[in-house]
Amino acid sequence: MTAPVYFWNLRSSLKAPYAERVRRLLDRTGFAEHVDAGALTALKIHFGERGVTSHVQPLWIKPIIDFLAGAGARPFLTDASTLYVGQRGEAVSHAMQAALHGYDPLLLGAPVLIADGLKGGSQISLPVRGGKHFTEAHIAEGVAQADMLVSINHFKGHEMAGFGGALKNIGMGAASKQGKMLQHVTTGPSVNIANCKGCGACVDMCASGALALAEAASLFPPVETGGKPRITLDLARCVGCGACFLACKTGGLEIDWKTDVAAFLERMMEYAAAILLNRAKPSLHVSFVTSVTPDCDCMGFSDAPICGDIGILASLDPVAIDQAAMDLVNRAEPHYPSHLPANLKPGDDKFRALRPHLPEHMGLDYAEALGLGSRQYELIAV
Ligand code: SF4
Ligand code: SF4
C-alpha cells in the first residue's frame, strides 16, 4: 500500500509564513480528526545534548503545539533518559537541558515531562507481536500511558542506526533505560590494539567508565607499543551505546557491523512496533529534514550538514516518512566539508557512504514486515 507523506520545502511568503505552512502541513495528515477533547498527547522529541545546535528548535514546534491544542489535545513535550550519563541521563539534568535549549512551557504552551521518571525506572511493558528478538518491550511510562503520540524528529545520520528519523525517535528514544540496554546489548566494541595510538579520546567519550588507558607493561598478551599506554575495555561495564566509535580515528575500536547492527536495527524496530501498534489511535510523525548532520544529537556537537536544508515532512506512517526523508537526502547535492567521500554524486546513498557496513534498507524492510507501515509512499507537496 502507498502511504501519503506530506512535504513542505520551506519556501515561504508574507501571506503564508512558517506557522501557517506548518498548520497546513499537519491539517493534511487528518490527525486532528482522531483527537478526543482533553487527550493527553505526548510530543516525543530530542531536546539536544549540550553542545548540539542542530536539534529541533523550540520555536519550530510552537505551531505544532498550537495545532494540537486547537484540535482539543493537551500536549506535553517528552523524552526518556539516555543510557549514557551525559546531560539527559536522569530527569533533573534532562529537564534542565531542555530548559537550556529554550523549551519554556510558558512560551510554548506545553510543559516538559521526562517520560521514564526520576532515574529512568518508570516503565510499562508492552507486547511485541511477530518479532524475532522480543515478546515484550519496556517503554517509558509517560509515552506508553499518553492518550496520543506525536513524534517530532530531526532527521540526520546516526553512528549505529545509519540514520535517525521517526522510527528511531520512537523505538530507541521512547524505550526505558532497560529497554535501551536490551536493544544495544550485543553491540559493544572490540579493541584493536595494533590500531590504538593511546590518545585517550575514547576514554573521555565513555560515560560508563568501560574504557581506560593501561600502561604498556601491563598489557596481556604483551604488545610492542614503544612504552606508550593503550586502550583496555571492561565489557562488563559497556552498555553498547556506541559513543566511543566516533572518538577513534585510527581503528582502535571496532564492531562487527555486518551481524550486530542488523540485529540491533531489528530490535529497535520491534520496540517501535510495541509502542505504535499497541495504540488505539494513529500517531503523527513530523520530520525536520534540516541541518542533516552526519551524527546524532546525542554527540555533544553538530558537524556541518551533508546536504542543504530540504524541508518538513508529516505522515501517519513512520516507515513511509523515514523512507521519504532518506530518499530526499540521498537525491540532494552532497555538501562539504563533512566526512562524505569526495566523489559522491546526487542519488548516491549518503548514509551508507558514511557507514558502508550498514544493511541496505537500515531496518525499514523489517519495520514494514512488522506491520509498522509502508516503504511505498506518495510525496505530496503542501
Ligand atoms: S560502546 Fe563505547 S562508549 Fe559506549 S559504553 Fe561501551 S565502551 Fe563506553
Ligand atoms: S582506541 Fe582510538 S580513541 Fe581510544 S585511545 Fe586508542 S587511538 Fe585513542
Residue 240 binned pLDDT confidence (cut-offs 50, 70, 90): low
Ligand 1: centre distance to CA 68 (Å): 39
Res. 258: pLDDT tops 50: no
Chain CA centroid to CA 328, Å: 18
To test the ligand 1 pocket, which listed residue (238, 246, 295) has its Cβ within 8 A of the most ligand atoms? 238
Give tens-digit pLDDT for 156-176. Answer: 988 788 889 999 999 999 998
The C-alpha atoms of residue 319 and residue 271 are separated, in whole angstroms, by 14
Is ligand 1 within 6 A of the CB of residue 305? no
Residue nearest to atom 8 of ligand 1 (CA): 206
Phi/psi of residue 141, nearest 5 degrees: -55, -45
**Length, in residues, of the chain:** 382
Residue 241, pLDDT above cutoff 70: no
Helices (H), 185-261: 201-205, 243-247
Report the distance separating Cα 219 and Cα 229, nearest Å. Answer: 9
Predicted local distance difference test score (pLDDT) of residue 117: 92
Is any ligand 1 atom within 6 A of the Cβ of residue 299? no
pLDDT at 369 over 60: yes
State how far the Cα of 94 lies from the Cα of 92, in Å rounded to an integer. Answer: 5
Distance CA 257, CA 162 (A): 11
Q: How far is CA 267 from CA 6, 72, 226, 270, 317, in A?
A: 28, 35, 43, 5, 19
Burial class (CB in 10 A: 0-12, 13-18, 19+), 374: middle
Confidence at residue 255, expressed as pLDDT on a 0 to 100 scale: 61
Cα of 240 vs centre of ligand 1, distance in Å, is 5
- CATH number attached to the domain at 3-185+258-381: 3.40.50.11440
Q: What's the average model confidence in pLDDT over 345-349? A: 91
Sequence ranges of the domains in the chain: 3-185+258-381, 190-254
Q: What is the pLDDT of residue 189?
A: 77
Going from the Cα of 66 to the center of ligand 1, the distance in angstroms, rounded, reads 40
* d(C-alpha 242, C-alpha 271), whole Å: 19
Q: Which residue has the higher pLDDT, 321 or 188?
A: 321
Mean pLDDT of 194-206: 90
101-121 residue pLDDT tens: 999 999 999 999 999 998 888
The closest residue, in CA terms, to atom 2 on ligand 2 is 248
How far CA 154 is from CA of 58, 291, 327, in Å, comes to: 12, 8, 15
Query: How many other CB atoms are found less than 10 A from the CB of residue 85?
Result: 14
Listed range (196-210, 254-268, 317-331) with the worst mean pLDDT: 254-268
For the chain, percent of residues with pLDDT exceeding 90: 60
Residue minimizing CA distance to atom 1 of ligand 2: 252
- Cα–Cα distance between 64 and 283 in angstroms, integer? 14
First to last CA, the chain: 21
Angle at 189 between CA 187 and CA 193, to 5 degrees: 160
In this prediction, residue 183 has a pLDDT band, given cuts at 50, 70 and 90, of confident
Q: Which of the pair, 59 or 243, is modelled with greater confidence?
A: 59
Q: Picking from 215-224, 288-297, 335-344, which range would have the lowest pLDDT averaged per residue?
A: 215-224
Smallest CA separation from ligand 2 atom 3, residue: 248
- Gap from CA of 198 to ligand 1 centroid (Å): 16
The topology (CATH level 3) of 190-254 is Alpha-Beta Plaits (3.30.70)
Q: What is the mean pLDDT of residues 319-336?
A: 95
Q: Which residue has the cell 585517550?
A: 200
Distance 114 CA to ligand 1 centre (A): 24
